[in-house]
Amino acid sequence: MVWAAGAFALPVQRWATVRRQRSAAVRTLDDPARLAAVQAVGSIAATTRATLDDLARAIAGTFQAPSALVSILDDTEQHFPGQYGLGGGPAALACGGLPLDYSFCRFVVTSGEPLAIDNTLTHRLVRHHRATTEWGVRSYLGVPLYGADGPIIGAVSAYDTFTHEWTEAATEQMHGFARAAESILGSRPI
């Protein structure tokens, strides 16, 4: 399946409405309702891997980034039901999981907000983060991925080993990709 970037972008006004409706979502990684939603989507994610990998490839191409992820986070690890550009990465990525102390996506899940980092070396939140210091990640754009009943179960993101200027339009496009991932995972009607 091939994804066209423009087909997934939500109009700004519509996304603002969706965001307000979901702003009350629980935002702790160990919340039982959130973990139940993560578990519920886990078996679906395994059967949709190829489609989510295609979506990640489309994300990377759209943003001219070498890597993109559809991530689901439990309370100890970040899992990748969809990924592109992780070849040659750490062994944890090859197994489909990553300890949360390497995850930028956890900040998206716990804040409930998009995270756009143009330069990790100067960004207060992540300049000393392990992904910055050990893996050389220099830019990141991620938005929330919602489960069927509203909790944030993960993030859809792109990252680069070079700095990148992320625009508001790029963030809106990434929201469109997140809605597509939710549809694939069955947590959002098509």
Mean pLDDT across the chain, nearest whole number? 82
| pLDDT score for 116 | 97
| pLDDT score for 150 | 82
Q: Does the reported pTM lie above 0.85?
A: no
Residue 190 in tokens: 């098509």
- pLDDT tens for 91-129 read 445 455 788 989 999 999 999 999 999 999 999 999 999
- pLDDT tens for 65-95 read 999 999 999 999 999 999 999 754 444 454 5
| pLDDT score for 20 | 37
Which comes out higher in pLDDT, residue 186 or 78?
78
Q: Where are the domains of the chain?
A: 8-185
Please report, rounded to a whole number, the percentage of residues in the chain having pLDDT higher than 70.
78
Element (H, E) at 153: strand 152-160
CATH (one of 3.30.450.40, 2.40.50.1020, 3.10.20.30, 3.40.50.1000) for 8-185: 3.30.450.40
| pLDDT score for 15 | 41
How many residues in the chain?
190
Strand spans (E) along 21-146 = 67-73, 77-84, 97-99, 115-117, 139-146
